[in-house]
Structure 1
Amino acid sequence: MRETPAIFSPEALRRRASLTARPAAVQWAVIIIISAVFVGALEALRLPAALLLGPMGAAIVTAANGMTLRMPRPAFLCAQGVIGVMIARSFSPSIGGAILARWPLFVMTVLAVIALSGLLGWLLARWRVLPGSAAVWGSSPGAATAMTLMAGAYGADARLVAFMQFLRVVFVTLAASLVARLFAVATGAPRPSLDWFPALSWPSFIATLALAGLGAWAGRASRIPAGTLLLPLTLGAVLHGVGAMQFDLPPWLLALSYAVVGWQIGLGFTPAILAHASRAFPKVAASILAQILLCGALAFLLTRFAGVDALTAYLATSPGGADSVAIIAASARVDMPFVMALQTFRLILVILISPGLCRFIVRHIARSGGEA
């Protein structure tokens, strides 16, 4: 007889029932306190995604213990709009120039990373580690938050995608930090202090909020998949690229947006989803390590045949988020424009290619008799 998992034991069920009965205000107070503790711990470990991972982890803990909170839809839409504008802010004319100057190298490298990631997603789906669409989206080498939001909009299980994406954030960040230290190029300088409440340029701040809010609303009304993220991102990238708009995104606003997205994702983790994720962990972790090694092999090819220095090549091809790579690259003697140009170009292509690639792989698995 199979042993009953601990999360389904009578004691666990009674504890979740008692938590569910508590007022919503008490439940929100609990999740905010736990989020603050988690963020503090992750910041102490210098994980760049702490402001999102902390709230998401807190939401998972509370959801697994029976809390029934749900994120208000307007808050979630606005948070997606802010994140879209934040990504758009990184699209500068200098990055576009760097891409155009070496576009054959960029195209081949990025397509190779996407192809390798798609292959790993196909294998995870083929071996029934995860459902097909979740496996492919979870393996996509793009920004973790953007991929999770897009996956949900395209019908994949955003919780399983988030599990894969943010587990990779942790693995890749640790690996990249270790590689930087092995190359002995890290400066060792302390992290600069962050001004959470800087003086605002009110016209720019109000325009930024308007673009994020109205863009997200228009994206939802348009029924474009992931439009609440993609429409503010696209409009913001165009406006910022031509110099028509400067964004003012204070750290407190970004932190709040990350927290809202983290809570939205984490609150969807039911005990059944957690049980499935725990069973899939070894194979998912192995696929992430394989992805890191394969991208490391691409970095070696860049070093060998394109004359790019080793650490620059490794960080440029690293399958983590551009934010974490930028923080690591800033403390090392690398070609920063090359790193950020390749990371940004990959993000653009992944956003454009991932929906079609996911549908293609899922259809292929279904035709060959696998489970999609």
Structure 2
Amino acid sequence: MNLEDKKTRFLITLVLAFIGGVLFTFLHIPIPWLLGPMTAVLIGSRFQAIQVYWPVQIRDAGLVILGYSIGLSFTKEAVIQIAGKLPLMLLFTLLLISFCAGIAFFISKLSGIDYPTILVGSIPGGLSQMITFSEEVKEINITIVTFLQVTRVIMIIFLVPFLIYGPFFNNSTSGSTIVIADQKVHASLSPTGLLFAVVCIICAFLGKKLKSPTPFLLGPITGAAILTLSGLHGPELPNFMLDLSQFMIGAYIGLLLKPEKLQHKTKILTLAIISGLVMVLFSAGLSMLLVHYFEITPSTSILSLSPGGADQMAILAHDVHADLAMVTGFQLFRLLFIFFVVPPALTFIFKKKSLFR
């Protein structure tokens, strides 16, 4: 693909994504600048006459913006609150991963696809890590893993907002919830804002160099959180910047699902949708336990335990004024657990091939 071709495809994708965002805003659909571009690009990319392209660097820039905003919520009070719930985070992470492993077993039996492939495709919240892992294990079908992971993420991004805005969840905040300040100032006009911006960008590229999970999200979160905990107060981003970050991330997600590369599309898609729905319902059930025993709002609880990505759940947390630090804490804990613990565990298990014969 030459430079002119890339430019043309990018402009087409940009227009598609913008139309999707405007349409979803007009229809009052939750998080319109994430779901709208994602849906428009996903549908548009299915037509051969429409050639789409979205540079990963734009998605990464969106993650940096989001990461900075998340990092501001990690005040001393929030960190103390999260630290006290670390055993709980471990327990719920193990429960969710164990449940997904069980679902993967039944899908494997129904589809006739080997269990390791389905298992890796079902691990919640670790899309990039599991795709990378599947590339290193010859027995695993990376196309199916990618399809299952992306289908789950897209389903969760669509389903969770409607659960959050539905009658079963209360979007009001409690006294224990840490809410983003209402006052918005322009970071570009503040010396402190420039310091935060430089540190976040450096941390993002440092995270990439160190091969950390989702470096362009985790790096800025870490940088902004460290500065916040040191006593500095970074300026809050205006709403249009958060909408822009959603737009940059949503268009990229819309390009990920490629069913044309998959055999037995209908059967696998059906099973992927069913498994994604069951995962969401199970995480919603766990979230009710969290609400019952701890001072956490229902919205914060389900976003904390939802088997989606930290970036998408943080966007939703922003939108409904949930406890952003708590949601991010739970999501990043599971992300780090999946990154550091799950691949070695899976490698050990897959060596016992007799388990899957």
Bigger Cα displacement from structure 2, 250-259 vs 152-161: 152-161
* Number of residue pairs matched by the alignment: 326
Q: TM-score with structure 1 length normalisation?
A: 0.67
Unaligned runs of 5+ in 2: 136-141, 173-181
1:354 match: 338
2:220 match: 232
Pairwise CA RMSD: 4.2
Secondary structure, counterpart of 1:28 in structure 2: helix
* 1-structure distance, mates of 2:210, 2:290: 41
**What does the per-residue CA deviation read over 1:264-312, in whole Å, with 9 as the maximum and x for residues that have no partner?**
34335445247766543322222233223323443454566x3768947
1:61 correspondence with 2:43: yes
* 1-structure distance, mates of 2:297, 2:197: 40
- 2:91 pairs with 93, 98, 108, which one? 108
1:295 match: 283
What is the CA distance between 1:152 and its match in structure 2? Answer: 5.5
**Given the superposition, is the C-alpha separation of residues 173 and 239 from structure 1 closer, same or farther in structure 2, using an over 3 Å criterion?**
same
* 1-structure distance, mates of 2:238, 2:277: 35
CA contact (8 A) 1:53 1:166 kept: no
* 1-structure distance, mates of 2:54, 2:43: 16
- 2:152 pairs with 139, 155, 164, which one? 164
**Given the superposition, is the C-alpha separation of residues 226 and 316 from structure 1 closer, same or farther in structure 2, using an over 3 Å criterion?**
closer
**Given the superposition, is the C-alpha separation of residues 299 and 280 from structure 1 closer, same or farther in structure 2, using an over 3 Å criterion?**
same
**Given the superposition, is the C-alpha separation of residues 238 and 89 from structure 1 closer, same or farther in structure 2, using an over 3 Å criterion?**
same
What is the CA distance between 1:246 and its match in structure 2? Answer: 1.2
- Counterpart amino acid of residue 95 in structure 1: A
* 2-structure distance, mates of 1:84, 1:310: 23
* 2-structure distance, mates of 1:326, 1:131: 37
1:40 match: 22
* 2-structure distance, mates of 1:131, 1:256: 40
What is the CA distance between 1:106 and its match in structure 2? Answer: 4.9
* 1-structure distance, mates of 2:276, 2:27: 20
**Given the superposition, is the C-alpha separation of residues 137 and 214 from structure 1 closer, same or farther in structure 2, using an over 3 Å criterion?**
farther
CA contact (8 A) 1:139 1:165 kept: no
- Counterpart amino acid of residue 242 in structure 1: S
CA contact (8 A) 1:159 1:266 kept: no
Residue identity over aligned pairs, in percent, reads 18
1:364 match: 349
What is the CA distance between 1:186 and its match in structure 2? Answer: 6.4
1:88 match: 71
What is the CA distance between 1:350 and its match in structure 2? Answer: 0.9
What is the CA distance between 1:235 and its match in structure 2? Answer: 2.4
Secondary structure, counterpart of 1:64 in structure 2: coil
Q: TM-score with structure 2 length normalisation?
A: 0.70
* 2-structure distance, mates of 1:198, 1:160: 41
**Given the superposition, is the C-alpha separation of residues 302 and 167 from structure 1 closer, same or farther in structure 2, using an over 3 Å criterion?**
closer
What is the CA distance between 1:167 and its match in structure 2? Answer: 0.9
